Amino acid sequence: FIFFKSTPDADLVDLVSRALRLEESSADDPEDQPYKSRYEARKLLNEAISIVNAEGLSSAVETKAEGDSSSPDPEFKSHRRQLRLLWLKIRLASNYLETDEASEGYRMLTALLEADNEVLQLNDGGTDQSGEVVVADSSSANRYLREAAVKVQLYNWLGCACCHLNRHADAIEFLQQAEAAFLRAKRLLAADESARAWDLSDLFPSAVKPANEKEEAASALADSCSLESLHTKTLFYLAQAFGKADRPADSARYCQMTLNRQLALSDYAASEWAVNCAALSQYYLGVRDFARAHRCLCAASAAAHDPDSELQHNRASISRCWVKYAIALLEYSRDLAQHQLEDCRSEADYEDLFPSVEAGHHADKVAYVPAVNFEQARAIFLFAQRHLTSAKDFFRLDEHCTDHAELVRDHSRAFLHLLQFELDSDRRARMHKRRADMLRELLSQLSQQYYLLLCRQIRFELGETLVDLLDIKLSALESQAAAGQTPSPAAVAKANAIGRDAVTQFDLFVDSFRLPPPESRLPDRLEALDTRPVLLALFHSARVSARLPEPSRDRRLANLRRAEANYRQVSEYCERVPEAASVMSPELDLIRDMLALMPVKVQTVMDKFA
Amino acid sequence: MSSVKVAVRVRPFNSREQQNDAKCIVEMRDNTTYITNTKAGPKDQAVKSFQFDYSYWSMDTRDPHFATQRRVYEDLGVDALEHALEGYNVCIFAYGQTGAGKSYTMMGRPSEPEQAGIIPQLCRNLFLRLDGESAKEESASPTNRSIVEVSYMEIYCERVRDLLNPKNKANLRVREHPLLGPYVEDLSKCAVTNFDDINDLIDAGNKSRTVAATNMNETSSRSHAVFNIVLTQKKHDSATELTGERVSKISLVDLAGSERADSTGAQGKRLKEGANINKSLTTLGKVISGLADV
């Protein structure tokens, strides 16, 4: 189209161009003048506004006086002027938002909404029965398409402003209006191949691409003001607004839409996209939506399927997400089995969140429905194991210590959930042993000084694993005794060795909380979060000690004394510290009973070995 | 001995505050700091008091209870050095807004010895002690000598830079070794034998901090500076003919300004972070991670 290039217009474009660039460079402002560029940009925007206003007055006079047909369609010119004015005012308002004057910015934006603004057609001509916007004719459609970007821009900024003022519900409404405006524009574009939506370069030609500037920088600026990229922002802002409004499910949905959008516009770095997609699966795991989590992970794996070595870290991260997925699914399966419930979701719930990504080879390698028997659980477990191996390959102990440790713990956890489905006690024992071995190996490799918290967690889990293993061994011995058989000394020795190891682990755990020498005792008051673990460790240590089938009387008596001492320690601590009593309430009754029974136990041992 | 000590210090008005006719609302008596809320309503408590291990009044040199650089060192640095010599690790953090005086307290003014901060004073005294001890040793063999190694790094936007080797533009990786703990890969560790050596390194490091800041338009207020001294003391026991080693680490940290940095979201005061929408899609990952935490 031909536009009337007058001196004010060139000035205007120059002002806009400079203002845009100033705002772009505001990150470089000195720290004692952080808004320097933005304040300058503000001045330029105000100047630009006065030029456009002046233009408006003079052309109003012109039109009345002349009805000039040599210049472009006056209605077109007037529409463009109104849009320019609107765009500049929105930009100015956003400037206030970015310089910590949120209320002022918000006030300006709402003023634009309320102004008697024929431009904005905010009532959009009504809808027909199907909800489709009725557009009278192609000239209305064109008008709408010229305004679309500015409208979306306005609603986007209103959304940001409201969030800033902690009015999240309002923010969501505005952003949804932005979304609706975009979708209407898209429908109009679809209806007419020759139609085009305006962007910044239509309003201010060459503001975005001045001759002397580098192509890349210019096109980046242009892109950021186009209708399509504004919509991407709408989706992203909605994801955030829903998050702040405590609507995580909606937030997740919009994160997923943003991800899809990035794919559609080819506007993403593959590795980052894949990692983000995998991360989204973790949210769905949290709400036990395995189908959606599965879909995210499949898409992530497919996107990261590139032998490029730089992506190793990302592939390892995605593997880690798969591991968490498998463990969560196993745990859920176990919960259902224990409570004899059924998962009522069906195949139909598996929607394709990322239709443009090929499902790839992962879709059939692991389920997204819970396992109901050992075979199914084992399949999930093996899948997890493959990813564990792959992830551990990257997250090696000597470089990524905590990541590696987390993976080992996940491996142990995977075994734990799997063995809930295993009925044969020998096989269960073997799985517990695998767990114990890997946890013990990890512990031996870590510095207790630098990884204190991690060591404590591992050691406690090791203790629990050994207790589980001991339980199996002891019940085997007991059933042998009940059947009239004498248990083999080797079996008894084995059980005792496991038990003593368990006691050692729990004791070492408690030791890690002791004050440094010379005091070397537990502090009078433990930290709140440490209380239950420490007292529980004392409790477990006591219980195991009391149960050990030691063949010697003296050993048994010593064990009972040790158990008693531990029980008393816990009991006394709970008396002294009431919060501890409430935290240990499930175990306290048992402790009281144990202490009461102690004399009987001692007598039993005396009698047995008499 | 309590393992954590907290000290607070107040500086004189700067020129801008003087121009604006600022009023001092802080008072200190003994180790208590009192802050007056000038906007307190009639029912509110106008003056609030805060207990610290030390409250340093450095507002006006004319005041009798003015706390000098020397005094701050005597209270905080002397003990820290003592513990380090005994084999403990010690750490001193300076925390506060940009312009609050953190660098002054930690480093001081290099050109004026009376205004030396904690770091130079500590280094000077470290060498006095080590030299003094080796002088006492009857058979001062080389194996008895203590080794002092320093490193100086800057952390900005989760990137680590080696201030003692500014030519190494690369971002240093932080790795975790299972036995040695977390460490910064390829961080220069310079052995120093006297105070002047260390002083030169500190100067060089400080300068490259500023240079780095100008080049990338960062300012020193947005980065953390960590100055580490690793002290390896060797003690020869003539009875057993064995030489023992005692290693301790002194970490002196000048933290970045605690105020909100800028609107691009590089840092964020926690209150602001909650309200603001991140404009850049590069933060999509953060938004998604935030979901999983809910």
Each residue of A75-122: pLDDT tens digit?
Answer: 778 888 888 888 999 999 999 988 888 889 999 999 988 775 655 654
pTM recorded for the entire structure:
0.78
Residue A36: exposure state from Cβ atoms within 10 A (0-12, 13-18, ≥19): middle
Q: Do A240 and B285 touch (CB under 8 A)?
A: no
For A563, the 3-state DSSP assignment is: helix
Q: Which long-range contacts (CB under 8 A, 24 or more apart) does A73-79 make?
A: A77/A4, A79/A119, A79/A143, A79/A146
A518 touches chain B (CB under 8 A): no
Residue B115 among known ligand-binding residues: no
Contacts of B277 in chain A (CB under 8 A): 159-160, 163-164, 237, 240-241
- Report which of A257, A253, A212, A249 is spatially closest to residue A233, judged by C-alpha positions: A257
Q: Which amino acid is residue A378, in one-letter code?
A: R
Q: Which residues of A touch B261 (CB under 8 A)?
A: 31
Judge contact between A256 and B291, C-beta under 8 A.
no
* Distance (Å, whole) CA A43 – CA A55: 19
Q: B264-294: per-residue pLDDT in tens?
A: 334 433 333 456 788 888 888 888 888 877 5
Contacts of A29 in chain B (CB under 8 A): 262
**A256 interfaces chain B, CB cutoff of 8 Å:** no
**Rounded CA gap, B34 and A14, in Å?**
54
pLDDT at res. A125: 45
Q: Is B275 on the interface with A (CB under 8 A)?
A: yes
* Interface probe, candidates A24, A31, A320, A397, chain B, greatest B C-beta count within 10 A: A31
HSE, side-chain direction, 13 A CA sphere, residue A19: 25
B4, B16, B284: best to mutate for the A interface, most A CBs within 10 A: B284
Q: How confident is the model over B194-214, as pLDDT tens digits?
A: 888 888 888 888 877 755 444
Classify domain B68-259 at the CATH class level: alpha beta
Does B274 touch chain A if contact means CB atoms closer than 8 Å? yes
B176: nearest CB among A28, A275, A402: A402
Domain ranges (residues) in chain B: 1-67, 68-259
A175 and B CB contact within 8 Å: no
Model pLDDT, residue B213: 45
Among chain A residues, the shortest Cα distance to B265 is held by A27
Asked if residues B37 and B48 have their Cβ atoms less than 8 Å apart, the reply is yes
Distances (CA, A) of A254 to A117, A246, A293, B73, B214: 31, 14, 15, 55, 39
Nearest chain A CA: its distance from B15 CA (Å): 14
In chain B, which residues have their Cβ closer than 8 Å to the Cβ of A450? 179-182
Three-class secondary structure of residue B92 per DSSP:
strand
What chain B residue is nearest to A160 in terms of C-alpha separation?
B277
Q: Is B101 annotated as a binding residue?
A: yes
The strand pairing partners of B27, in sequence order, are B34
Lowest mean pLDDT among A157-171, A246-260, A391-405, B148-162: B148-162
**Distance separating alpha carbons of residues B137 and B128, to the nearest angstrom:** 14
Q: Are A116 and A66 in contact (CB under 8 A)?
A: no
Q: Which of A29, A240, A252 sits opposite B278 (nearest CB)?
A: A240
Chain A residues whose CB is inside 8 A of the B281 CB are 232-233, 236, 258, 262
Average of per-residue pLDDT values in chain A: 85
Q: What would the DSSP string read from start to end of A477-544?
A: HHHHHHTTPPPPHHHHHHHHHHHHHHHHHHHHHHHTTSPPTTT-S--SS--HHHHHHHHHHHHHHHHH
Average pLDDT over residues A182-202: 85
pLDDT in tens, A200-240: 888 887 665 555 555 555 566 666 678 888 999 999 999 99
User: Which amino acid is located at A4 in the chain?
Assistant: F
| Residue A377 contacts residue A330 (beta carbons within 8 Å) | yes
Both tokens of residue A42?
């503000």
The answer to whether A491 and A476 have CB atoms below 8 angstroms apart is: yes
Pick A243's closest partner by Cβ from B179, B285, B287.
Answer: B287
Mean confidence (pLDDT) of chain B: 81
Which residue in B2, B288, B293, B294 has the most chain A C-beta atoms within 10 A of its own C-beta, making it the best mutation to test that interface?
B288
In this prediction, what percent of chain A has a pLDDT beyond 90?
53
